[in-house]
Chain A
Amino acid sequence: MTESLERETAAVAEISPEQAYAELFEGHFEGLLRLAHLLGADDPEDVVQEAFVRLHSRHRTLRDPRAALPYLRATVCNLTRSRLRQLRIARRHNAGQLVLDVPSVEQEAVSREDVRELLAALSELPSRQREVLVLRYWLDLSQQEVAQTIGVAEGTVKSHIGRGLAALTRKLEEKR
């Protein structure tokens, strides 16, 4: 992942900020969309669009290509977390009416029961734990990269991973 990023960033080092932005958009929009979806965003596209708009307004970030993608990932995580927090508050005011998670309505039923179970268990984890697990096990980021992305200490990431995996195991066993 890191080598790939370095190759990418070396390639874009010589191009204009606008070109770099366009390439980032083409190359990473879908991946970031998937990240937002896995983090539980109710409108992943809006989250990712907003992340890119914010990136665009930070031309300095674009001039340092190595920072652009981590910035986008961090923004996606932050925006999703913020949005989920707002939803939780809204649910408190509409107790009994709202479901715990906000699944995409375009989402088709997951065919395999065990996959559905694991996703449901993942959605019940605290936001930070979910972010850490998704970044670590879907994006294959190192613990250090995860720490940089979400702005916490590496030790905290390690702790979240351990607790998150334990919680997932426990929830899955409870359902059997």
Chain B
Amino acid sequence: MTHIEDRLRATLRQEAARVHKPRNARAENDRRLRARTRFRLTPAPVVAAASVLVISIGLFAARQLPERAGPDKETAVPASGLPANLDPRYRPTGPVVRVAPHSGGYGKSVLMWQATGGLVCWRQNTGGGGCGTPRELSAPQQVCGAPSGSAQRVCRSLPQSGGRHGHPAGVFAALGEAHTPQAGHNSYVYYGAADAQVASVSLITPSGQWLPGTVTGHRGLSSRLWQVGMPSDRAEHMDWTKATLVFHDANGRELERISRPGLGPDQLPAPQTRGVPLFTYDTDSKVVEAGGTPSPGPSRHTLYARVDGGVADFISPDVSGWSSSLLPERLALGSTEFDTRVYGAPWFYGFVRRDVAKVVYRLADGRLAPARVVDVGGLRAYSVRLPDDRNGKFPRHGDVVIAYDANGNKLGQRSV
């Protein structure tokens, strides 16, 4: 035995010990076997047509979301109308009621319910929604949102006004319907809770027009739930600080006016499902600068991918300000960055279609970073940790994300 042989053995042993089996190896293998079986059973012309479709749609096109793909784990809806894997934070404490828009008004037909912690939640028919806490008069309020569909939410504090009778919980802006994503128009709706005296709600626009809303009560609800909406053209050009909410009792007596609802059109529908963990990352107190809840110091967090009907996002539930909501139009872009380099670990992640078996991040210098890919609802989410040797230049011009199907065929690629 020579010196070089000994050294080679030791080196190989040491290097090999650094490689470990991924936790999801068997699941990934099962998925590939299923995909391969499906491929074999598919008649050739259909395969050819599907291939053309894949290319024409583009690598990450995901405009058509899970509703049309049929219910699955993420989208199955029980009798209550809520997803089976509803985030426990939004679990109803009473009945789930449908609140339709007033016949002479605007708004959306949504499900509403009360949840733990005094939350009032709403949910749109195409999946996704929001929750807010009815607040007392003059209590400070933090609004988080991404009105233009930008990747990262921005939070800010606003003077909050509430009321004794009608308590605003929030404003949601729905960006079109999932089945007509090209329409892309916003409709804004105030929603909240009210006491038992309240029988009707209206919104007075800055131009003086009265828009009627809906109030719904139910034996199992501790409060009445209400919504009042406005058409998109008014909503987009409206000075929200000049809107007024008016609440009346059953005799038409005005109970209260909330002259400055204090809520901007910020809350886009977000997934209400639990999500699938993608990766963990460390943060320090700098997370405060991102606009979220102040973090007391270095801490570890998990990023989750969520798909809920027509909306999807990535979120770290314990770090406000780091969630990003993706509507169908945004999903067509297929990917969003999550650059945590300031915290020491640069990550890139995004969504791809269900038929993508493998995602590889190719750096401009030719190195390849295979991504971890997991099923989330009717989509798949990928995440990849990139090297730390770029001095913060990340992602860099020339980086490419490439997707392959289960047979190793390249479905397409996208410049980062």
**A contact residues vs B (CB 8 Å cutoff):** 25-26, 29-30, 33-35, 37-38, 42-46, 49-50, 52-53, 56-57, 87, 90-91, 94, 97-99, 102-108, 110, 112, 114-115, 118-119, 122, 133-134, 137-138, 165, 168-169, 172
Contacts and interface: CB of A to CB of B under 8 A. Distances in A.
B49 interface: no
A134 B29 contact: no
Contacts of A102: 366-368
B16 A34 contact: yes
A57 B276 CA distance: 31
Contact of A105 (B5, B12, B386): B386
Interface residues of B, number: 40
B32 A107 contact: no
A57 B36 contact: yes
Contacts of A42: 367-368, 370
Interface of B: 2, 4-5, 7-16, 18-22, 25-26, 28-29, 32-33, 36, 358, 360, 363-370, 385-387, 398, 408
A92 B368 CA distance: 17
A168 B363 contact: no
Given A102-B366, A102-B368, A105-B387, 13 more contacts: A30-B20, A33-B20, A35-B16, A44-B19, A46-B358, A52-B29, A105-B367, A106-B369, A112-B14, A115-B15, A122-B11, A137-B5, A168-B8
Given A25-B26, A42-B368, A34 B7 contact: no
Given A56-B33, A98-B365, A138-B9, A46 B370 contact: yes
B21 A29 contact: yes
A99 B367 contact: yes
Greatest chain B CB density within 10 A among A35, A45, A56, A97 is at A45
A65 B15 CA distance: 29
B12 A137 contact: yes
Given A97-B366, A105-B363, A118 B19 contact: no
A38 B12 contact: yes
9 contacts: A30-B21, A42-B367, A105-B363, A105-B369, A114-B11, A115-B14, A118-B7, A122-B8, A138-B12
Nearest to B384: A105
A165 to B, nearest CB: 5
Given A46-B370, A137-B8, A110 B36 contact: no
Contacts of B8: 118, 122, 133, 137, 165, 168
B365 A97 contact: yes
B12 A91 contact: no
A72 to B, nearest CB: 12
B15 A119 contact: yes
Contacts of B5: 137, 165
B368 A97 contact: no
Contacts of A114: 7, 11
A49 B364 CA distance: 26
B393 to A, nearest CB: 15
B368 A43 contact: yes
Nearest to A57: B36
Contacts of B26: 25-26, 29
B365 A99 contact: yes
A122 B165 CA distance: 77
Given A105-B385, A105-B386, A138 B16 contact: yes
Pairs of residues from A and B, 4 with the lowest C-beta to C-beta distance, nearest first? A98-B366, A34-B16, A138-B12, A30-B21
A34 B29 contact: no
Contacts of A122: 8, 11
B365 A45 contact: no
Contacts of B16: 34-35, 37-38, 138
Contacts of B358: 43, 46
A105 B371 CA distance: 11
A26 B398 CA distance: 38
Interface centre among B10, B11, B358 (most CB of A within 10 A): B11
Given A115-B14, A115-B15, A138-B12, A169 B4 contact: yes
B29 A53 contact: yes
B19 A30 contact: yes
Contacts of B21: 29-30, 33
B18 A107 contact: yes
A91 B368 contact: no
Nearest to B26: A25
A37 B367 contact: no
B9 A37 contact: no
Contacts of B28: 45, 49
A138 B13 contact: yes
Given A30-B21, A49-B28, A118-B7, A103 B15 contact: no
